[in-house]
Structure 1
Amino acid sequence: MHEFSAEVLRAYDIRGVFGETLVEADAFALGRTFGTHLWRSGGCSVVVGRDGRLSSPALEAALVDGLVRTGIEVVRIGLAATPMLYFAEATIGTVQAGIQVTGSHNPRDHNGFKLVVGGAPFFGRDIARLGIMAAAGDWDMPAAPGKVEERDILPAYVSRLMQELEGVDAERLSSLRMAWDTGNGAAGPVIERLAALLPGEHHLLHTGVDGRFPNHHPDPTIEANLLDLRQRVRSNGLDLGVAFDGDADRLGVIDASGRILNADRLLIAFARDVLSRKPGGRVVADVKASSSVFDTVHRLGGKAEMAPSGHSHIKARMKATGAVLGGETSGHFFFADDWFGFDDGIYAAIRLIAGLVRDGARASEIHDAAPAVVNTPELRFPVAEERKFPVVEEVRARLAASNAQVNAIDGVRVDTPDGWWLLRASNTQAALTARAESATEEGLGRLVAVIDEQLRMSGVSRT
């Protein structure tokens, strides 16, 4: 029997602090449990990858050991960005599932696992069920262990990425000047290989994989982590710069002026491109997305849908509805028109390049073309694990009593004459998150004041 730490089995994945809440025994138990689940579901083969964190090799080895103990055949792809793991699961015909060892964008002493089965995210109740099975020691013991195959997926992945640029004007593509910052994360080897194949001028920053992240933390949603990229773009007069998180499923972009193109603006640009070729297509965005995203999709003739925050929720909803595009304000983008529907920051960067070259546009035009709104960044503040969901429920009850216009699919998103505001509980941390958007700075100030008042009534403060 094996008991996982209570805080490790998260809503979207399995995640903890290595050496404290997450150890090699957890990886081994996960292998045995997931392998048993897969075997009982009719599967017999799984692909496994790992990011560049210092703890990832040990966790990956223990995971593989647990899998083969259940008779599962394992395809090991070694050091890989998470999208490479998803790509391998989608394209290697012999496998039915995949597990990536990764701490994603979290601090360097964190690590975890992302799981996929049959091209769909494995999360929520499925992860909780693994915990129940492990606690009961509910594992199969086959007569013979499974086998392990080593495979290099990088060439096939990069080749498929390059196909997206076939037919794009070669002269325009050759004039592109840009920078890539992988933050010493797992995207480094991919970007080095891509840059060697791409026409144009390419500046590479921090592509050496180093789990200590010596230059800056790999999370492009934090402005401070984009300083090196911004400086390179400005000092060399480049057209744009792109950055990735530690496992490369998130994308960050700055334009030639050094302005950050937030995920809302990028999703609007991607929607224009995708819906021009897939008229009437469905686009899924998370509950934190700007109203301008949904308004633009409708104006372009598409179907816009709001989904709970979290990459697993977006992927699941896209798969259920046949959506052609999805996006999350944390920088996850999901293409299901010419791609596989999983979140892939590197592929999103290639789609951005292709769209700019096709339109003869500059990245700055994406910033300028977005509707003029003012909004807060995601406001994240610590709240005790046992209080975060009750606080949201208390706010929801007060709003219901006041007849406010509330969307409650994930926390509370409230529409008002000033715009909208959101309060939700984080599924990955002991924290609440808030966001607000208005047409004016004055309206935004009033919305934030409402959030603070609601928090005060529940005994919580953002500061």
Structure 2
Amino acid sequence: MNYNFDPTVLREYDIRGIIGETLGPDDARAIGRSFGTLLGRAGGKTVAVGYDGRVSSPMLEHALVEGLTASGCDVVKIGMGATPMLYYAEASSKEVDGGIQITGSHNPPNYNGFKMVFQGRPFFGADIQKLGELAAAGDWADGAGAVSSRDIMGEYVERMLEGLTGIDPAKLSSLKVGWDAGNGAAGPALEALAAKLPGEHHLLFTEVDGHFPNHHPDPTVEENLADLRTLVAEKNLDFGVAFDGDGDRIGAIDGEGRVIWGDQLLMIYAEDLLTTQGDTYQGATIIADVKASRALFDHVEQHGGKPLMWKTGHSLIKSKMKETGSPLAGEMSGHVFFADTYYGFDDALYAGIRLLAASARLGKSVTELRSAMPDMLNTPEMRFQVDEVRKFPAMAEITERLTTNPDSSVEQVNATDGVRVNTKDGWWLLRASNTQDVLVARAESDTEEGLNRLLAQIDEQLSLSGLERGESVGH
């Protein structure tokens, strides 16, 4: 029997679709058959399966497990929880060879999807396309795998608490922190974690609700931090932490309600890692994506680290960390990866713990750490619609022009992922999204005039390729 997926569903970093339109139980079953077949052929046998709090997730889990067992794989069901809890189940057990989390991440409630890990590595790009090829050809293994369940929440929480090992308890017990789970899948683990943390902790929206009744669970959108801001102000807390729908991306605000963006969080984590861990991580490579501020790369260098700019995308960053042995990496989108004393996957709950640890170890409040950062003027991430067939060719034309015939203001062009162009005014970025038919732009300068000149350069390059920077669209 062969099976064809809707062409929009198999994406670069994960599988994602709209329930009842492009994604349903038959798709989940086919994903299970294909993934299980690939794993079996690679010598694997056991897959951990978890799911987020969306209304459609239990239905997809049921079908996915049917598909996996029909391919001969054994399944360990870990139940509802954050994506990093599934990653933990895979990384911490020698018996588990792969993992699949059913999650719609930060997308609207009618979306859902799958994030996968395969024998300890991210499963993305060509791997995901291979699932589609196996399904289309009906090239599936047959078998009858066993199903068991495992409750790992307690073990997962205890493992995260190890992020505070060796820190003076008095420093931790003086901290006052607000947490916003946004009705996402991280809520139950957050409740269990906060109950064991030293200090004072105030929790918002930990009840899992796939309709997200309080606010949309994307902590990189400032309006979604309003409730957390109010909490931090009313209770006079040191800082606040928020999560996305499946708990793999962190957002934060300091005690004054200022947003601490993804690259600024990485500045704090990098300073902690490079300066308080003796010689262990001196000179370590710290990775950030091409959207990150120049201030971050400078900060890593100032503290003796080696900054590395890499492509946007959590799977791409995880792969680069393995290749370089980097102990720490992060993205503007709030994915942060710790591989020093943790597993190298993106876990927003653990990143929250490490923010407590950094503040205590560095002996500075999160507000002080945020205040010490240089004031850069930067645009938000601007995303504008470009026809799918045009986005990559347009980027190729722009890259070609800038590298072969740059104008005198261009000091350096980095083509790691799209183009990041340095000028005396600062830098600007233009790249094609791997997940949507959009181009993404960003610019950063020390002055308003400089920022305007950078934006004018972006517009000029777009115009030369017959495009314009239209209305910004959402994720």
**Length-normalised TM-score, structure 1:** 0.97
TM superposition shift of 1:350: 0.2
Q: What residue identity is the alignment partner of 1:429?
A: Q
* Partner residue in 1 for 2:110: 109
TM superposition shift of 1:358: 2.2
* Partner residue in 1 for 2:198: 199
TM superposition shift of 1:82: 0.6
Q: Is the 8 A contact 1:266 1:366 kept in 2?
A: no
* Partner residue in 2 for 1:412: 419
* Range 379-388 or range 198-207, more displaced: 379-388
What SS is found at the alignment partner of 1:171? Answer: helix
* Partner residue in 1 for 2:372: 369
TM superposition shift of 1:196: 1.1
Counterpart CA distance in 2 for 1:120 and 1:85 is 13
* Partner residue in 2 for 1:453: 460
What does the per-residue CA deviation read over 1:399-429, in whole Å, with 9 as the maximum and x for residues that have no partner? 2342353211211111111111111111122
* Partner residue in 2 for 1:329: 332
TM superposition shift of 1:168: 1.9
* Partner residue in 1 for 2:37: 36
What SS is found at the alignment partner of 2:227? Answer: helix
Counterpart CA distance in 2 for 1:33 and 1:179 is 42
Q: What residue identity is the alignment partner of 1:331?
A: G
Q: What residue identity is the alignment partner of 2:149?
A: E
* Partner residue in 1 for 2:52: 51
* Partner residue in 2 for 1:284: 287
* Partner residue in 2 for 1:294: 297
TM superposition shift of 1:23: 1.4
TM superposition shift of 1:4: 1.2
* Partner residue in 2 for 1:385: 388
* Partner residue in 1 for 2:444: 437
Regions of 4+ moved over 4 Å: none
TM superposition shift of 1:456: 2.9
* Partner residue in 1 for 2:343: 340
Counterpart CA distance in 1 for 2:190 and 2:125 is 32
* Partner residue in 1 for 2:183: 184
TM superposition shift of 1:299: 2.1
Q: Is the 8 A contact 2:46 2:75 kept in 1?
A: yes
What does the per-residue CA deviation read over 1:406-462, in whole Å, with 9 as the maximum and x for residues that have no partner? 211211111111111111111122211111111222111111122122223323332
Counterpart CA distance in 2 for 1:37 and 1:194 is 36
Q: What residue identity is the alignment partner of 2:395?
A: V
What SS is found at the alignment partner of 1:149? Answer: strand
* Partner residue in 2 for 1:351: 354
Q: Is the 8 A contact 1:261 1:366 kept in 2?
A: no
TM superposition shift of 1:345: 0.7
* Range 310-319 or range 120-129, more displaced: 120-129
Counterpart CA distance in 1 for 2:204 and 2:306 is 38
Counterpart CA distance in 1 for 2:257 and 2:160 is 26
Counterpart CA distance in 1 for 2:336 and 2:91 is 17
**Identity across matched positions, percent:** 58
What does the per-residue CA deviation read over 1:7-27, in whole Å, with 9 as the maximum and x for residues that have no partner? 111111111111111111111
Q: Is the 8 A contact 1:283 1:303 kept in 2?
A: yes
TM superposition shift of 1:352: 0.5
What SS is found at the alignment partner of 1:63? Answer: helix
* Partner residue in 1 for 2:121: 120
User: What are the within-5 Å matches in structure 2 for residues 196-275 of structure 1?
Assistant: 196-275=195-274
TM superposition shift of 1:99: 0.6
Q: What residue identity is the alignment partner of 1:47?
A: A
Q: Is the 8 A contact 2:263 2:288 kept in 1?
A: no
Counterpart CA distance in 2 for 1:118 and 1:323 is 20
* Range 271-280 or range 211-220, more displaced: 271-280
Q: Is the 8 A contact 2:252 2:259 kept in 1?
A: yes
Q: Is the 8 A contact 1:174 1:200 kept in 2?
A: yes
* Partner residue in 1 for 2:145: 146
User: What are the within-5 Å matches in structure 2 for residues 66-81 of structure 1?
Assistant: 66-81=67-82
User: What are the within-5 Å matches in structure 2 for residues 8-47 of structure 1?
Assistant: 8-47=9-48
* Range 262-271 or range 352-361, more displaced: 352-361
Q: Is the 8 A contact 1:452 1:462 kept in 2?
A: no
* Range 74-83 or range 158-167, more displaced: 158-167
Q: Does 1:462 align with 2:461?
A: no
The RMSD of aligned alpha carbons is 1.2
Counterpart CA distance in 1 for 2:124 and 2:469 is 31
Counterpart CA distance in 1 for 2:109 and 2:436 is 16
Counterpart CA distance in 2 for 1:76 and 1:331 is 27
> Structure 1: which 5+ residue stretches go unaligned?
none
What does the per-residue CA deviation read over 1:187-244, in whole Å, with 9 as the maximum and x for residues that have no partner? 1001111111112221111110000000000000000100000011111111111000
What does the per-residue CA deviation read over 1:250-300, in whole Å, with 9 as the maximum and x for residues that have no partner? 001101110001111111111111122211111111111111222222222
What does the per-residue CA deviation read over 1:294-345, in whole Å, with 9 as the maximum and x for residues that have no partner? 2222222222211110000100000111111001010110011000000111
Count how many residue pairs are aligned between Structure 1 and Structure 2. 461
Counterpart CA distance in 2 for 1:178 and 1:84 is 22
* Range 163-172 or range 280-289, more displaced: 163-172
TM superposition shift of 1:88: 0.5
TM superposition shift of 1:372: 3.0
TM superposition shift of 1:382: 2.2
TM superposition shift of 1:359: 2.5
Counterpart CA distance in 2 for 1:232 and 1:32 is 46
What SS is found at the alignment partner of 1:427? Answer: coil
What SS is found at the alignment partner of 2:326? Answer: coil
Q: Is the 8 A contact 1:455 1:461 kept in 2?
A: yes
